[in-house]
């Protein structure tokens, strides 16, 4: 009887263990299938191209396919120049268009042999700073200048330049000079100077009377 009892206990234990093993296998299979379904349901990311910020100087290059290549300004073109040219003489630069344009994308352009910091003042723009234009001696400041797009020159197109102070509080030194000349022509400056001397003499006489 005892032997039969032990055999029944062992058989029951093996049967329960077999059931649990099969349940674990089923759960593992279900879990793997659910993972595969999730992966298949995920949308496939298409190749995205990074967005490019369009700067102000690139606007003229957008419709370049309708313009002649030789008429494009910087930075739509890249030019190679002769660094050994004689200053002030005319030389030739070989330029190549960086964008789609009408005509041959490689062409020659004439320019005056000079570095960018040597060009005329109307051919570049500088950042203005507020300063005292009426100071004596005159004040100079260092600022950043950029060559105009249609001008070709040797070297870097952005450079530092030392300029005389010609701007203060929104009024140019030239405006102050014009006002001084016009008002001075009417004798206003001399009238003010005479009134100042009269007032100074009056207060001096008063101070002497007190003593």
Q: Encode pLDDT of 185-211 as tens digits.
A: 555 555 555 665 666 666 665 555 555
> What's the distance, Cα to Cα, between the start and end of the chain in Å?
147
- Coil, helix or strand at residue 147: strand
Structure tokens at 197: 């001397």
Whether residue 48 is predicted with pLDDT greater than 80 in this model: the reply is no
Q: Encode pLDDT of 49-77 as tens digits.
A: 444 444 445 666 877 778 899 999 988 99
Which one-letter DSSP state was computed for residue 142?
A: E
Q: Encode pLDDT of 146-172 as tens digits.
A: 999 999 999 999 999 999 987 655 555
pTM of the model as a whole: 0.51
Write down the domain spans for the chain.
Answer: 56-113, 116-191
Return mean pLDDT, the chain.
73
Cα separation, 140 vs 55, in Å, equals: 31
């Amino acid at each position: 009887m005892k032997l039969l009892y032990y055999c029944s206990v062992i058989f029951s234990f093996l049967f329960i263990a077999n059931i649990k093993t099969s349940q674990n296998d089923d759960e593992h299979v279900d879990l793997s299938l659910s993972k595969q379904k999730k992966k298949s349901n995920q949308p496939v990311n298409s190749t995205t191209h990074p967005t490019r910020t369009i700067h102000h100087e690139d606007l003229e290059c957008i419709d370049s396919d309708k313009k002649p290549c030789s008429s494009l300004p910087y930075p739509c073109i890249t030019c190679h120049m002769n660094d050994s040219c004689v200053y002030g003489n005319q030389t030739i630069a070989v330029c190549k268009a960086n964008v789609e344009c009408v005509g041959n994308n490689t062409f020659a352009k004439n320019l005056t042999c000079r570095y960018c910091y040597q060009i005329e003042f109307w051919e570049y723009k500088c950042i203005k700073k507020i300063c005292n234009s009426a100071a004596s001696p005159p004040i100079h400041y260092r600022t950043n200048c950029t060559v105009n797009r249609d001008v070709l020159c040797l070297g870097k197109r952005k450079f530092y330049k030392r300029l005389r102070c010609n701007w203060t509080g929104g009024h140019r030194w030239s405006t102050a000079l014009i006002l001084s000349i016009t008002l001075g022509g009417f004798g206003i400056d001399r009238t003010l100077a005479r009134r100042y001397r009269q007032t100074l003499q009056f207060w001096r006489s008063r101070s002497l009377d007190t003593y």
